[in-house]
A and B are shown apart, each in its own frame.
Chain A
Amino acid sequence: MTILLEVENLSVSYGRVEAVRDVSLEVGTGRIASVIGANGAGKTTLLAAIMGLLPCRGRIMFDGQDIGRVPAEERVALGMSLVPEQRDLFGSMTVLENLELGSFRRGRAEISERLESVFALFPRLRERRGQDAGTLSGGERQMLAMGRALMARPRLLMLDEPSLGLAPLIVRDIMRTIDELRGSGVSVLLVEQNARAALQIADTGLVMELGEATVRGPAADLIADPRISELYLGRAVEVR
């Protein structure tokens, strides 16, 4: 297996607060790596720094190239895509325009072909293509954010909580979609609160606590670890 993304000793600070400290991770080609952790553990910060949206210390290698100095928009051209926690859709533009812009770095020629494959993945988007992105439902927005990222034909897709606020059935669909992407050779770095689902489709897992990577290993081992199971996978929460 070849390594597509290799992060070494990454640290990110907001002012004097260090939100990510010395985190190392790697994602193999065609593999899924899941990052789990409590709220505020630094997961979103980690993804933003890998994408180049935040200044950071440490080393980020993509496909054997040190991309530390490469700005975010050029990382897109290299084959990295991030679906951010806030989605950052273009609200007053149509679904179709959002998707077209997704392949901005690929040019006109590829748009129609990419559109077909995204519509095949998310048929709902085809129905809604003339609608403004700002008027979509939460789940549709999620689909559009993923679809827009896929329009760039990324080699590494980074997803920040793709199941946020979705009904369980749709979560299953989204997870299945991510699993299918792996089949087409895309590598995935997945951040999820839905830890069990995230580890089930992942090859490797990483647990973050207070900005540090505390546990890492094959996803199956993490699921089997009683401590992790206790803290992150949870049993059905009782609500009275």
Chain B
Amino acid sequence: MDSTIALFLIQDGVINGAIYALLAVALVLVFAVTRVILVPQGDFVTFGGLSLAALEAGRTPGAIWLLVMLAAAAAVMDAFVAAREGDVGKAVRLLLRNLLPALLIAAAVHLLAPLRLGMAVNVLLVIAITVPIGPYLYRVAFQPLADASVLVLLIAAVGVHLALTALGLVLFGAEGYRTAPVISGSFEIGPFFVSAQSLLVLAATLILLAALALFFGRTLIGKALRASAINRRGARLVGIPTMLSGRIAFAMAAAIGVVSAVLIAPLTTLYYDSGFIIGLKGFVAAIIGGLAAYPPAVAAAMAVGLLESFSSFWASAFKEAIVFAAIVPVLLWRSLTTQHADEEE
């Protein structure tokens, strides 16, 4: 291998690593706040990417049906809880509060989709569809299990992922899609031949990571999310509703998924079931980082990206296997070096 190839592989690895970093950060975030290992994080990416592709083609993305279905389920669950308490007014209010925004979004998307209003509007519409799916999903699948063990939550997460994949096939079909790049063109920087889209990936990832650091370090809501992750009872005692933290964490994960989707959809063809493999790589990075802290997860994501691109050069048939096998020595090393921290509560 000469240095040009090496540089090319490094560039490729860094780009992929940046995307995995976004996924890993979302996984760490959701796990810290809710103890859910968010297996469906990759599905946010496919749903976002496929919705964007549909809007580009002037079609209504099937994801609006998922949004409406989840909203209806959340509405029924909230209303049922309120009705059982005997508060009918509250039940009706909760029903409407869950259902109306989803219906409005779905209607707006359906009306605007055929007009092909361009990239910026499309991205906004995808955000409007995908981000609320996060908190609705939390309400329907995870909030009822808020006190369950990590294992039960993981099983639920796997179930949600399988359901979303199946729905993805129904809503988007088996065909793969690739979207137009957000920005086109390329430059030569020294020996590098860099596409504008790759630079965008890197820049967007860095900006998002910085924004997250600011959010968690400076804002009261960000600190409240950290507090819920550190000590759930302590958080309740200062008046932070655990459920609110969960919904916010899921909304942020979905938003990060949309950003990943916009960045990755022009670079790889997405299918309804691509979410798993994408999410798994973010998962490997998050695990290597210990599912606990953001900087190690980001570093590990970069390493995963580089490992992937180099192994695709040397042993392309085994590249996925090599990436996933990388988790084994790390887990071994972790289990040997870390003392067992008592699980809280």
Are A91 and B236 neighbours in the complex by a CB distance under 8 Å? no
A113 to chain B, nearest CB (A): 15
Given contacts A88-B234, A108-B220, contact A77 B239 (CB under 8 A): yes
Are B237 and A88 neighbours in the complex by a CB distance under 8 Å? yes
Given contacts A69-B85, A100-B220, A108-B220, contact A88 B233 (CB under 8 A): yes
Q: Which of B223, B237, B240 contacts A81 (CB 8 A)?
A: B237
Does B241 reach chain A (CB closer than 8 Å)?
A: yes
What A residues does B85 contact at CB under 8 A? Answer: 69
Given contacts A90-B231, A91-B230, A91-B231, contact A53 B224 (CB under 8 A): no
Does A67 reach chain B (CB closer than 8 Å)?
A: no
B85 nearest in chain A by CB position: A69
What B residues does A73 contact at CB under 8 A? Answer: 236, 239-242
A108 to chain B, nearest CB (A): 6
Q: Which of B220, B226, B237, B242 contacts A84 (CB 8 A)?
A: B237
Q: Which of A69, A92, A100, A108 contacts B230 (CB 8 A)?
A: A92
Q: Which of A74, A92, A152 contacts B238 (CB 8 A)?
A: A152
A72 nearest in chain B by CB position: B236
Q: How far is the CA of A84 from the CA of B236 in the complex (A)?
A: 12
A210 to chain B, nearest CB (A): 26
Q: Tell me the residues in window 197-221 of chain B with beta carbons closer than 8 Å to chain A beta carbons.
A: 220
Does A51 reach chain B (CB closer than 8 Å)?
A: yes
Does B227 reach chain A (CB closer than 8 Å)?
A: yes
A160 to chain B, nearest CB (A): 11
B37 to chain A, nearest CB (A): 21
Interface string of B228-253 (1 = CB under 8 A from A): 00110111111111100000000000
Are B223 and A88 neighbours in the complex by a CB distance under 8 Å? no
Does A76 reach chain B (CB closer than 8 Å)?
A: yes
Q: Which of B223, B224, B235, B239 contacts A152 (CB 8 A)?
A: B239
Are B234 and A104 neighbours in the complex by a CB distance under 8 Å? no
Are A84 and B240 neighbours in the complex by a CB distance under 8 Å? no
Given contacts A90-B227, A90-B230, A101-B220, contact A148 B236 (CB under 8 A): no
Q: How far is the CA of A151 from the CA of B220 in the complex (A)?
A: 14
Are B231 and A89 neighbours in the complex by a CB distance under 8 Å? yes
Q: How far is the CA of A35 from the CA of B234 in the complex (A)?
A: 23
Are A101 and B230 neighbours in the complex by a CB distance under 8 Å? no
What is the size, in residues, of chain B's interface with A at 8 Å between Cβ atoms? 18
Are A100 and B223 neighbours in the complex by a CB distance under 8 Å? yes
Are B227 and A93 neighbours in the complex by a CB distance under 8 Å? yes
B87 to chain A, nearest CB (A): 9
What is the size, in residues, of chain A's interface with B at 8 Å between Cβ atoms? 30
Q: How far is the CA of A69 from the CA of B81 in the complex (A)?
A: 12
A82 to chain B, nearest CB (A): 6
What B residues does A149 contact at CB under 8 A? Answer: 237
B341 to chain A, nearest CB (A): 12
Q: Tell me the residues in window 78-98 of chain A with beta carbons closer than 8 Å to chain B beta carbons.
A: 81-82, 84, 86, 88-93, 97
A153 to chain B, nearest CB (A): 12
B106 to chain A, nearest CB (A): 32
What A residues does B235 contact at CB under 8 A? Answer: 90, 101
Does A21 reach chain B (CB closer than 8 Å)?
A: no
What A residues does B234 contact at CB under 8 A? Answer: 88-90
Interface string of A35-64 (1 = CB under 8 A from B): 000000000000000010100000000000
A111 nearest in chain B by CB position: B220
What A residues does B242 contact at CB under 8 A? Answer: 73
What A residues does B220 contact at CB under 8 A? Answer: 100-101, 104, 108
Q: How far is the CA of A82 from the CA of B236 in the complex (A)?
A: 10
Given contacts A69-B85, A90-B227, contact A104 B240 (CB under 8 A): yes
Are A93 and B237 neighbours in the complex by a CB distance under 8 Å? no
What B residues does A86 contact at CB under 8 A? Answer: 233
B177 to chain A, nearest CB (A): 43
B232 nearest in chain A by CB position: A88
Does A28 reach chain B (CB closer than 8 Å)?
A: no
Q: How far is the CA of A102 from the CA of B237 in the complex (A)?
A: 9
What A residues does B236 contact at CB under 8 A? Answer: 53, 71-73, 76
Q: How far is the CA of A101 from the CA of B236 in the complex (A)?
A: 11
Given contacts A69-B85, A101-B223, A108-B220, contact A148 B230 (CB under 8 A): no
Of B223, B233, B236, the most chain A CB neighbours within 10 A belong to: B236
A231 to chain B, nearest CB (A): 32
Are B233 and A104 neighbours in the complex by a CB distance under 8 Å? no
Q: Which of A72, A91, A97, A100 contacts B237 (CB 8 A)?
A: A72
B234 nearest in chain A by CB position: A88
The residues of A with any CB-CB pair to B shorter than 8 Å are: 51, 53, 69, 71-74, 76-77, 81-82, 84, 86, 88-93, 97, 100-102, 104-105, 108, 148-149, 151-152
13 A-B pairs with CB atoms under 8 Å apart are: A71-B236, A73-B236, A76-B238, A76-B239, A77-B239, A88-B233, A90-B235, A91-B230, A92-B230, A101-B220, A101-B240, A104-B240, A152-B238
The residues of B with any CB-CB pair to A shorter than 8 Å are: 85, 220, 223-224, 226-227, 230-231, 233-242
